[in-house]
Amino acid sequence: MRLGVLETGKVDEALVERHGQYPGMFARLFQAIDPSITVSAFEVLNGEFPASVTECDAWVLTGSPRSVYEDLPWISQLKDFLRRARAEGVPIVGICFGHQIMAEAFGGKVEKSSKGWGLGVQEYEILPDAPEWMAGAPERVAFRVVHQDQVKKIPADANCHATSPFCEYAVLSYGDREMPDAISIQAHPEFDASFVRDLIERAKGMRFPEPESEAGLASLEQEAKGVEFARWAVAWLKRALAKQSEPETAA
């Protein structure tokens, strides 16, 4: 399976040597579930888009310091790309900014949250009747987070699978619950604790307010289960791609 990582942001240059860039993080995350998965990267934030929505087997959208409601050419272009990819039946996985831009592209609404920044580790409730691709999901699961914007209104055909008091729409799928067209998560399953710690420390008192930064740093002592989302995503991707290869039934 070839995953195309659509880079909507870059790791701070001061942190690259220690942590690498986002495509490498996603490669480690998904290859922990299936070592045969390969990753190709496209810097869409710099206008580098794939030649076709079918160039890769599936698409993964990264996080970004930008907001999806900003009037930037590449953001508008990316929304169009996502709508075309979905129409062509190419699976899409969104992370943080990716979660938000998918919601906007498909008819939802994203806003800057009055609750402030979510930093560190947060726990989410898995809602009842989880689909088969989330089989074995615990009742509650913790993920690492770095976000202020949130999805405030979900598209008409979206399904919510996880929630918290801080973030109502934490995990979404689009279309049929059991065989959706796309899935996304507000959290960062690809981030390890050391990266989030360095990220918060670097922006503490500047981009991130001191109180939220300190609370976020303290929360990093809690175990997070990014691999749990990777397990869901790979299970869904394999089902979606297998369905694509099924022969069409004659009318």
For the stretch 132-147, pLDDT in tens is 999 999 999 999 999 9
pLDDT confidence of residue 247: 66
pLDDT tier for residue 12 given thresholds of 50, 70 and 90: very high
228 is catalytic: no
Question: Does the residue 134 lie in any domain?
Answer: yes
pLDDT tier for residue 248 given thresholds of 50, 70 and 90: low
For the chain, count helices (H), then strands (E). Answer: 7, 11
**From the candidates 7, 104, 190, 228, which is the catalytic residue?**
190
147 is catalytic: no
pLDDT tens-digit profile of 156-198? 999 999 999 999 999 999 999 999 999 999 999 999 999 999 9
Question: Does the residue 215 lie in any domain?
Answer: yes
CB 186 within 8 A of CB 226: no
CA–CA separation, 92 and 105 (whole Å): 12
Question: Does the residue 251 lie in any domain?
Answer: no
**From the candidates 104, 188, 212, 228, which is the catalytic residue?**
188
Question: Does the residue 250 lie in any domain?
Answer: no
* pLDDT of residue 251 exceeding 50: no
- What domain range includes position 235? 2-245
3-state SS, residue 160:
strand
Segment (H or E) for 85: helix 73-87
**From the candidates 7, 56, 96, 104, which is the catalytic residue?**
96
**The overall pTM is greater than 0.85:** yes
The domain that holds 143 is classified in CATH as 3.40.50.880
Q: What is the DSSP letter of 44?
A: G
* pLDDT of residue 221 exceeding 80: yes
Question: Does the residue 208 lie in any domain?
Answer: yes
Question: Does the residue 76 lie in any domain?
Answer: yes
CA nearest neighbour of 48 among 73, 26, 68, 67: 73
The total domain count for the chain is 1
* pLDDT of residue 241 exceeding 90: yes
Question: Does the residue 70 lie in any domain?
Answer: yes
What percent of the chain is predicted at pLDDT more than 70?
A: 98
88 is catalytic: no
* pLDDT of residue 56 exceeding 90: yes
